[in-house]
Amino acid sequence: MTRTTDLPASTQTALDKVTATKAAWLDARTKQEAAASQGDIIRQRRRDTEANATVQNDEWRRLFRENGGVMTPEMKKLRAEVALDRESLEEFDALLTLHAQESESLPWETGDLALAYITAHSDLVNLRARQLWQMFMDAHGQQLIQTLSLLKITLGRQASAGIGEVDSVNDPETVLKNFIARNITDPALVRDALPEDDVFKLAGTFPARGAHDDYRNSPSLAARHKILARRKMALKGQAQ
């Protein structure tokens, strides 16, 4: 787990949870990718076997016609190899079926772990944001409020000088709100800058790339129900 002595205990606990859930999600993702790669390898081997069987069978038929139906040693060998390839194709199909059954729930598991990581990360960021705000207010809050109160007076006077005060246009409250929006709120909304706190250096301001995709790509509740139903039927068939 990632540790820093500068963090409050609650933040460290939240950071440890992010570290653990991220590791679990990445491990599940690695297993899912390995299963997908293995499936591709098996399918390619099946295609190669099928192509080889086709070539050998065509060659046997050619020799059969040329020899007038006489079975030569070469043809017997070819026939045996074709039969073996065809038998292998059946085994490949059974292997692919088994592989699909064993790996069909992996996106489900990866998606759930991705969601656990995303949730833990969100909890950490929310906690730290409030802590940073409270730390800032403890250190500068009174000065900030006093300065804004002063600006309400001075900016309001400037805005109403000469033409008088117009409600919701240049009254002190509206002028102050516009000042805050222009100098504080608007830059915050476009994220001109984010804090370089230890938490965000360690965990990132946002979840790692791919977490949201894995969560969105996980099977729906209906698809999960079908997976469980198929497994139940398969186990029932094996028992009978």
Domains and CATH numbers, the chain: 9-239 (1.20.58)
Which stretches of 67-160 are DSSP H helices? 73-103, 106-160
pLDDT of 224? 86
Cβ-Cβ contacts under 8 Å for 199 (sequence gap 6 or more): 7, 11, 15, 124, 125, 128
* 3-class state of residue 197 by DSSP: coil
The pLDDT of 158-164, averaged and rounded, is 66
* 3-class state of residue 239 by DSSP: helix
Of 29-38, 150-159, 199-208, least confident by mean pLDDT is: 150-159
Span 175-191, pLDDT tens digits:
899 999 999 999 888 87
CA distance 15 to 25: 15
pLDDT of 197? 86
The pLDDT of 218-225, averaged and rounded, is 88
Place of tokens 């099946």: 46
Going by pLDDT thresholds of 50, 70 and 90, the confidence category of residue 163 is low
Give the chain's end-to-end CA distance (angstroms, integer).
Answer: 48
pLDDT of 230? 81
Q: Which residues of 214-232 are buried (b: 16+ CB within 10 A; e: fewer)?
A: bbeebeeeeeeeeeeeeee
The pLDDT of 104-131, averaged and rounded, is 96
Query: What tokens appear for 228 in the block?
Result: 């469980």
pLDDT of 22? 98
pLDDT of 161? 62
Q: Work out the percent of the chain whose per-residue pLDDT is above 70.
A: 92
* 3-class state of residue 53 by DSSP: helix
Cβ-Cβ contacts under 8 Å for 167 (sequence gap 6 or more): none
pLDDT of 166? 58
What are the distances in angstroms from CA 138 to CA 33, 141, 190, 197?
48, 6, 26, 17
**C-beta atoms surrounding 175 within 10 Å:** 22
Whether the Cβ atoms of residue 164 and residue 158 lie closer than 8 Å to each other: no
Going by pLDDT thresholds of 50, 70 and 90, the confidence category of residue 77 is very high
pLDDT of 162 higher than 60: no
The pLDDT of 195-213, averaged and rounded, is 92
pTM: 0.80
pLDDT of 123 higher than 70: yes
* 3-class state of residue 100 by DSSP: helix
Rounded to an integer, what is the distance from CA 213 to the centroid of its chain? 4
The pLDDT of 110-128, averaged and rounded, is 97
Place of tokens 């516009």: 178
Name the average pLDDT for the chain: 90
